[in-house]
């Protein structure tokens, strides 16, 4: 499997996992669980901002952010729309980026003013890992208030989109 094929698979998974988690958050009672809901939205908004910042780095555009979160907290519906659009942007980007561009280093400036340089492939990997980290934080928050987080692992996703994978498994008997 090439790096590009793997990245496409990971970003498809991320879009699915983001949607699963945002759907779960939409079911939270905003009055009874307002504090937890706010924390979850802030975490996912931070993740969205970082995804936008790295999208700008990938294309050489200005992102306009001076911090890694916005001052205002978006409404959950607006966040969900923006996250879905950003997930779509990355999937579209991966359909157009040339394979040889993935390893090219790209210089950029972090929001705190520090200089950085990463290859496009490293940036894309960062966006995936960063997203998983923050979805995990929100999942832990849900667990702490006795709400089961979505079962949104990469393995679950792969088997949902390709149920035939379950039929391909060869299980060898345990030896005595």
Question: Could you report the per-residue pLDDT of 33-66, keeping only the tens digit for each?
Answer: 889 999 999 999 999 999 999 999 999 999 999 9
- What residues in the chain have per-residue pLDDT under 50? none
CA distance 58 to 172: 45
Q: What pLDDT shows up at residue 1?
A: 64
> How far separated are the first and last CA of the chain, in Å rounded?
36
Q: What pLDDT shows up at residue 172?
A: 72
Beta bridge partners of 115: 109
By three-state DSSP, how is residue 118 classified?
A: strand
Q: What pLDDT shows up at residue 151?
A: 83
């Amino acid at each position: 499997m090439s790096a590009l094929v793997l990245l496409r698979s990971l970003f498809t998974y991320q879009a699915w996992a983001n949607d699963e988690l945002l759907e779960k958050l939409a079911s939270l009672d905003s009055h009874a669980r307002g504090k937890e809901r706010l924390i979850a939205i802030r975490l996912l908004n931070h993740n969205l901002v970082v995804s936008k910042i790295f999208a700008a780095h990938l294309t050489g555009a200005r992102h306009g952010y001076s911090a890694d979160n916005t001052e205002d907290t978006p409404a959950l519906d607006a966040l969900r729309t923006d996250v879905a659009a950003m997930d779509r942007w990355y999937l579209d980007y991966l359909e157009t980026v040339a394979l040889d561009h993935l390893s090219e280093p790209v210089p950029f400036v972090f929001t705190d003013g520090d200089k950085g340089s990463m290859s496009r492939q490293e940036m894309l990997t960062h966006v995936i890992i960063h997203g998983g980290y923050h979805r995990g934080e929100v999942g832990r928050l849900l667990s702490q208030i006795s709400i089961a987080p979505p079962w949104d692992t990469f393995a679950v996703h792969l088997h949902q989109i390709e149920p035939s994978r379950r039929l391909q498994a060869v299980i060898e008997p345990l030896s005595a």
